[in-house]
């Protein structure tokens, strides 16, 4: 029996099983509030963070993220079904004075003279229309962790480093489902441009087989991501159209304990897949993986343990430890990688709008064959890696003016 199997079994025996609880403090409130009709407000979302990634081995380079992002904006609801927002999003790393100019997805890559000083700043514009059973969002959408994607499809660290997603989104809330579909336009292409048009299409659906507050809740996540690179104005010779797809489907069980300390426990297992419909960015056109985890929520503490196995699976935006390709050594791929992981997190919310949090992640990658870009096969060593971070999130709001006859007390 491999050491990774022993690690996983030991973690499961030591840890009560729980469904994926997620991190609610990272989610935005995407509801339109009737009591805010004809009210002009200043809303400020910001997060201070310090995260240290101590990674060893061939999967990913280690690095630190000391910084802050802030998103101040004016919001106004002219009717009970429409909300308008205008503001800006700024990201600053401590010790950085210049920031490369382009769309940020993770750590920025330096691009010579194309830069901003002081911070990476973008306009923030959003219009949201509430229909009977759905919300339509234009401009800056509710992205990142709000999509509730599994970790092999989306790395939660991107909540700290990536730009707000922008495009169009539809959110449907029904008793037996929560459906989220969106398009995130990442790179616009002008005529005779020298880079490709890039956008991502996504769908995230949670099917509830019974009410989420039931004693034993059963659900299925169904998720799909597709990134397209190309455009009819592309002038780069040999840059073919590329379409890359990730997907996940699973089954989860959640036991709502409803106790003072023990909040919930459960299990979730997902099958993930990757598909290269066109292009040659990935070494394989199709891949598959299994992602299983157990968690327990104890008041403000969350504990999670799990296991990943992949066969030619390549992730678009997921954690590098749950993918076949090495981000440390371009062109290197792991043959049928296996990773066990353990996560402990703490989040305490006070005064409604302020959250202090801490997170610790441990990864153990098994000894597996790996293939270099030149085709040479060698045996990678079993490695342990960990990351730890602390953050403070603040989301205060201030009523500036109430218009018309609709006047109520705000906060």
Separation CA 246–CA 274 (nearest Å): 5
Contacts of 187 (CB under 8 A, 6+ apart): 103, 195, 196, 197, 198, 199
Contact 45, 71 (CB under 8 A): yes
- For 264-279, b where at least 16 C-beta lie within 10 A, e where not — what string? bbbbbebebbbbbeeb
* Phi, psi (degrees; rounded to nearest 5) at 407: -130, 120
Say which residue the tokens 């691009």 belong to. Answer: 111
Contact 217, 211 (CB under 8 A): yes
* Phi, psi (degrees; rounded to nearest 5) at 191: -60, 140
Q: What tokens appear for 305 in the block? A: 């343990």
pLDDT at 3: 53
In order along the chain (411 residues), what is the average pLDDT of each group of 10 residues? Answer: 48 39 70 93 96 89 94 97 97 88 52 71 96 96 94 93 94 94 88 77 96 94 93 58 94 91 94 92 93 94 96 94 89 92 94 93 90 83 90 95 65 46
pLDDT at 411: 46
Contact 6, 367 (CB under 8 A): no
pLDDT at 197: 82
Terminal C-alpha separation, the chain: 58
Domain boundaries, given as residue ranges, for the chain: 3-402
Separation CA 216–CA 227 (nearest Å): 36
Say which residue the tokens 């305490």 belong to. Answer: 348
pLDDT at 237: 52
CATH architecture under which domain 3-402 falls? Beta Barrel (2.40)
Separation CA 397–CA 405 (nearest Å): 22
pLDDT at 268: 98
Say which residue the tokens 């490695």 belong to. Answer: 383
If one counts every other C-beta atom within 10 angstroms of the C-beta of residue 174, the result is 10
- Provide the 8-state DSSP code for 380: P
Category of 100 on φ-ψ map: left (φ > 0), alpha (ψ -120 to 50) or beta: beta
Separation CA 269–CA 127 (nearest Å): 36
- Distance set, CA 155 to CA 147, 289, 370 (Å): 12, 16, 23
pLDDT at 232: 61
Global model pTM greater than 0.95: no
Pairing of strands 369-371, 377-379: antiparallel
């Amino acid at each position: 029996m491999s050491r990774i199997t022993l690690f996983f079994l030991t973690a499961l025996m030591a840890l009560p099983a729980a469904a994926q609880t997620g991190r609610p403090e990272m989610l935005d409130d995407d509801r339109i509030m009737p009591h805010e009709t004809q009210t002009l407000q200043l809303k400020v979302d910001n997060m201070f963070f310090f995260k240290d990634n101590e990674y060893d081995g061939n999967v990913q380079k280690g690095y630190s993220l000391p910084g802050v992002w802030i998103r101040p904006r004016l919001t106004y609801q002219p009717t009970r079904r429409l909300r308008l927002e205008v503001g800006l999003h700024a990201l600053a790393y401590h010790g950085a004075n210049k920031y490369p100019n382009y769309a940020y997805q993770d750590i920025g890559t330096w691009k010579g003279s194309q830069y901003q000083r002081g911070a990476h700043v973008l306009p923030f514009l959003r219009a949201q229309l509430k229909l009977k059973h759905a919300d339509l969002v234009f401009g800056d959408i509710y992205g990142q962790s709000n999509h509730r994607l599994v970790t092999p499809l989306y790395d939660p660290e991107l909540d700290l480093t990536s730009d707000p997603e922008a495009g169009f989104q539809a959110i449907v809330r029904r008793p037996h489902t929560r459906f989220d579909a969106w398009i995130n336009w990442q790179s616009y292409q002008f005529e005779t441009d020298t880079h490709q048009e890039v956008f991502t299409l996504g769908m995230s659906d949670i099917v509830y087989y019974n009410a989420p507050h039931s004693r034993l809740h059963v659900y299925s996540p169904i998720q799909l991501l597709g990134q397209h690179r190309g455009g009819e104005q592309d002038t780069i010779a040999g840059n073919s159209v590329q379409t890359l797809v990730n997907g996940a489907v699973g089954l989860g069980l959640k036991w709502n304990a409803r106790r003072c300390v023990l909040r919930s426990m459960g299990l979730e297992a997902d099958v993930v897949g990757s598909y290269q419909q066109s292009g040659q960015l990935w070494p394989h056109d199709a891949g598959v993986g299994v992602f299983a985890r157990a968690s327990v929520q104890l008041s403000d503490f969350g504990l999670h343990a799990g296991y990943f196995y992949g066969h030619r699976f390549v992730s678009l935006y997921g954690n590098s430890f749950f993918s076949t390709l090495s981000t440390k050594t371009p062109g290197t791929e792991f043959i049928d990688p296996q990773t066990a992981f353990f996560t402990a997190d703490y989040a305490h919310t006070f005064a409604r709008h302020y959250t202090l949090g801490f997170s610790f992640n441990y990864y153990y990658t098994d000894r597996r064959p790996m293939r270099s870009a030149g085709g040479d096969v060698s045996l990678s060593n079993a490695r342990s890696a960990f990351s730890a971070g602390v953050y403070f999130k603040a989301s205060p709001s201030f009523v500036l003016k109430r218009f018309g006859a609709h006047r109520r007390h705000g906060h």
